[in-house]
């Protein structure tokens, strides 16, 4: 019980966050001592938010094969057929795309959605429209990843920069074996993750549903279940 409480309170911070946290803290100190105390308190709140943004909690990932888990915390905003980014060189034709929108209060550490091998990485510079817009998938800056599952199926996932996001980090390499739920990157600040499911795979989530990266199952590649329906209650 003590260990559970400790993990809930002392959430790890992603290493990319420490320079920002230090900068926010220094500015807060300078504002509070050299300008005015109220500004210092405002800076302290901004520093606390920065700590919150870069949190990197542990996740419990289901281990059964053929599962596709969410690569990001956030809200399922769209589920629709769409053609994967052309730079990935996948078989032409639309696949089911699950789009997950992350606001500035979500955990922004991204996780691999399935077991397999990374077969292609492709970065493309672009615009910085609101990531909630459909056109963001095509026009915004993005980092695309293509991978093959152990049974030979292909899927893709794409980190998309948002309106205030200006930095996409992806630590994957082509040819790298990966496991579902492993950390692979980060987007700051506010963003979107698109997942393109293999042909014939039905999503087990619905628009408006909250996702937990590395935990929420968004598809079962071994299941013949049709797409799920849901309603707000």
Q: Which residues are catalytic?
A: 191
DSSP-H helix ranges across 54-189: 136-139
* Rounded CA separation 230/208 (Å): 9
DSSP-H helix ranges across the chain: 2-9, 18-30, 37-53, 136-139
In the chain, the N- to C-terminal Cα span, in Å, equals 33
Cis amide bond preceding 189, omega within 30? yes
Give burial (CB, 10 Å; 0-12/13-18/19+) of 128.
Answer: middle
């Amino acid at each position: 019980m003590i260990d559970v409480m400790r993990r809930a309170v002392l959430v790890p911070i992603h290493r990319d966050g420490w320079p920002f946290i230090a900068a926010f803290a220094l500015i807060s100190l300078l504002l509070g001592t050299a300008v005015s105390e109220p500004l210092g308190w405002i800076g302290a709140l901004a520093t606390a938010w920065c700590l919150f943004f870069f949190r990197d909690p542990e996740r419990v990932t289901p281990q059964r094969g053929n599962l596709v888990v969410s690569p990001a915390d956030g809200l399922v905003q769209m589920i629709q057929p769409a053609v994967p980014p052309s730079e990935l060189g996948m078989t032409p034709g639309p696949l089911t795309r699950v789009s997950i929108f992350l606001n500035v209060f979500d955990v922004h550490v991204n996780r691999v959605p399935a077991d397999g091998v990374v077969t292609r990485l492709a970065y493309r510079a672009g615009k910085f429209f609101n990531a909630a817009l459909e056109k963001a998938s095509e026009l915004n800056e993005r980092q695309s990843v293509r991978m093959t599952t152990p049974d030979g199926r292909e899927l893709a996932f794409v980190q998309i920069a948002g309106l205030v996001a200006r930095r996409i980090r992806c630590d994957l390499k082509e040819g790298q074996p990966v496991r579902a739920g492993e950390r692979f990157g980060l987007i700051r600040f506010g963003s979107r993750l698109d997942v393109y499911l293999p042909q014939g795979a039905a999503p087990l989530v619905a628009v408006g549903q909250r996702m937990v990266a590395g935990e929420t199952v968004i598809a079962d590649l071994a299941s013949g279940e049709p797409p799920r329906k849901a309603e707000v209650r």
